[in-house]
Amino acid sequence: MASNPMDQFTIVPIVPLEVAGFDISFTNSALWMTITVVVSSLFLLLSIRSRGTIPTRGQMVAEMMYNTVANMVRDNVGSGGQPYFPFIFTLFMFVLFGNLLGMVPGSFTFTSHIAVTFAMAAIIFIAVTVIGIAKHGTRFATLFFPHGAPLWTAVILIPIELVSYLSRPVSLSVRIFANLTVGHVILKVIAGFVVALGVFGIVPLAGLVAITAFEFMIAVIQAYVFAILSCIYLHDALHLH
Amino acid sequence: MPSDPESDLADLEKRLKAARGTGEAGRSGSGSGREGAASGAGIGLRIAVDLVAGVAVGVGLGLWLDSALDTKPWLLLVFTIVGFCAGLLNVVRTANQLEAKRKEDEAAARTNAE
């Protein structure tokens, strides 16, 4: 089966739906997002149901995830970060399970679509900006001018800082989208070699095992990086550097 | 009443501090392991994306302002340079963050080893 390595990213409408000229069909992407929400919620609910002093394996994993995000929020957001813990945790779990479920053969990886990752990054960016302005008012503008720099440098520094600030959602979304897309394309291309090479296909097959393990690592690291950068942006908005 | 509430509170404070201290050490320890797993390629890609994002936003902003203010091609030129500077600023910030993290992990590993 010589399939196109890009075929796995095709959006297929499952329930076609159009409201006021907008195509809001229920697609395979939406289906896998729903599955991700259901699976991650069920996992957390069921694993901590026993609430044992001696945790089961599932409970240990759930507590590990909770601790990872709790430490992340405490280390990177600093004081006043606790109210945002639920949001960061939800974000982390959604991206993590989306990435991991994307590794299931035949599934769809919604995090490999820039539309999805950019939407998440844009929400974070807008929310962080609104939080910053609500908390500091006009003092929020000092974020764009380093403390102690000579005043005349403002002409150069403010546009640079502004563009740097605006590039945050772009780099945040492109990073996860590029990592996930590249990983899945490589998997498909190497898998194509296995079939094409016949008996010698054993060589790329062995490589494929290693790459699969590597992709699982990427899936976890990218979810972690996405959440930690959201924390850093939140820190900037709350404390202005 | 075993003791007065004042010293009870002080005792609680002490125990809280001790508990927090151990939590901190354990956390840094696990953190260094996770960082070690993050490959150099990951860091490289992260920095590359930071640089490109700055240029991309600069070019986009320049094109948009040019078409809005009808000043072709001057703002595109200016904002491409500004975007490149912003990209470099992003890179320096990311590198500083990673370096600070690495130093922190190293210090934690040293205190753990002692």
pLDDT digits (tens, 9 = 90+) for B74-105: 899 999 999 999 999 999 988 888 888 888 88
Per-residue tokens: A55: 């945790």
How far is the C-alpha of B32 from the C-alpha of B8, rounded, in Å?
37
**Which segments of B38-73 does DSSP mark as H helices, in order?**
40-69
Q: Which of B34, B46, B86 minimises the CB distance to A167?
A: B86
The pair of structure tokens assigned to A78 is 């600093």
Where b means 16+ CB within 10 Å and e means fewer, A12-33 reads eeeeeeeeeeeeeeebebbbbb
Do residue A170 and residue B50 have CB atoms under 8 angstroms apart?
no
Placement of tokens 């149901």 in the chain: A49
CB A131 within 8 A of CB A238: yes
Q: Where are the beta strands (DSSP E) in chain A?
A: 13-15, 18-19, 22-23, 26-27
B54, pLDDT greater than 80: yes
Confidence of residue A7 (pLDDT cuts 50, 70, 90): confident
The tokens describing A67, both together, are 């601790």
8 Å CB contact of A167 and B57: yes
Distances in whole angstroms, Cα of residue A119 to Cα of each of A34, A107, A169, A177 = 16, 21, 9, 12
Per-residue pLDDT tens digits for A168-188: 999 999 999 998 999 999 988
Distance CA B12, CA A201 (A): 65
Measure B39 CA to nearest chain A CA, in Å: 9
Q: What is the pLDDT of residue A165?
A: 92
Task: Flag whether pLDDT at A26 surpasses 70.
Answer: yes
The amino acid sitting at A210 is A
Where is pLDDT greater, at A214 or B33? Answer: A214
Tell me if B42 and A171 make a contact (CB, 8 A cut-off).
no
Output the CA angle A137-A71-A35, nearest 5 degrees: 90
Angle at alpha carbon of residue A189, lines to A186 and A195, rounded to 5°: 140
DSSP A8: G
Cis? peptide before A204, omega within 30° of 0 = no
Strand partners, A22: A19
Number of Cβ atoms within 10 Å of the Cβ of B35? 14
Q: Is the ipTM of this complex over 0.90?
A: no
Find the mean pLDDT for residues A148-177: 88
A36, A97 in Cβ contact below 8 A? yes
pLDDT at B19 over 70: no
Of B38, B58, B97, the CB nearest to A163: B58
Q: Give pLDDT, residue B41.
A: 72
Q: Which of B39, B53, B107 is nearest to A225 (CA)?
A: B39
**Distance in angstroms (rounded) separating the CA atoms of residues B88 and B54:** 8
Helix then strand then coil, in percent of chain B rounded to 5, is 90, 0, 10
Q: In a 3-state reduction of DSSP, which class is residue A53? A: coil
Closest residue by Cα to residue A182 from A224, A221, A211, A225:
A211
Contact indicator for A120, A91 with CB cutoff of 8 Å: yes
pLDDT digits (tens, 9 = 90+) for A37-93: 999 999 999 888 877 778 888 888 999 999 999 998 988 888 788 899 999 999 999
Residue B28, pLDDT score: 41
Inspect the interface and report whether the beta carbons of B45 and A179 lie closer than 8 Å: yes
Comparing alpha-carbon positions, the chain B residue that sits nearest to A222 is B42
Tokens of B71: 């000043």
What is d(CA A220, CA A92) in angstroms, rounded to the nearest whole number? 10
- Stated length of chain A: 241
Q: Range of B74's domain?
A: 5-113
Number of domains in chain B: 1
Write the pLDDT tens digit of every residue in A100-149.
Answer: 999 998 888 999 989 999 999 999 999 999 999 998 888 888 888 877 77
Q: How far is B68 from chain A (nearest CA, A)?
A: 18
Specify the pLDDT at position B5: 61
**Mean pLDDT, rounded, for B23-32:** 43
Tokens representing A25 are 């069909």
Query: Hey, is the C-beta of A190 within 8 angstroms of any chain B C-beta?
Result: no
